[in-house]
Structure 1
Amino acid sequence: MLLFGDAFARNRALYTADIAVQHALRDRPEPEAAAEAAGRVLAYLPDVRSDRLLQQLADVESALQRHAAVPAVADWLEAYRTTTQAG
């Protein structure tokens, strides 16, 4: 499946959110990788807003809460709260 071009921004955002959750929840979590992927998802929000994407982001937030002591995760959690409250 090709996910390039503006027409597929929602698909890329959803796929990237799923990657973030998987990094956060695997047996050996990779919270920095999860936060990095989740940051890319936030970048889509000005152009892509859907109930499904917002639910995926809430799932990412929930998965990352257990890693809130990791600086990259703490930064993402703050960015998420700021971004979603503004929108």
Structure 2
Amino acid sequence: MTFAVTAACVGCKDTGCVVPCPMGCFLEGPDVLAIEPSECIDCAMCVPECPVDAIRADVELAPSEQDFVAQTLRRAHKAGWHRITRPLART
């Protein structure tokens, strides 16, 4: 099991959730974050830090959420989204 960022994150990008991640699994997109599932160790430390409750265990995702996560990861890999490990400055 790994964790995934759902559509509730779109437009939020609070990024406080990236701080507790011991593996640095978060990727920054233009309007949403993603978690690299091959590196997530299922620690769940990011879950309580998400202000919009957008992070879920992949086994708990509804089919529409699974589609969103898969599409987001394809976008991330194709576009080469940057890995983030610290909160981003808000503008």
Question: TM-score scaled by structure 1?
Answer: 0.36
- Quick check: which has more Rg, 1 or 2? 1
- Structure scoring higher RCO (CA < 8 A, sep ≥ 6) equals 2
Question: TM-score scaled by structure 2?
Answer: 0.34
Q: Which structure's residues are more often strand, by fraction? A: 2
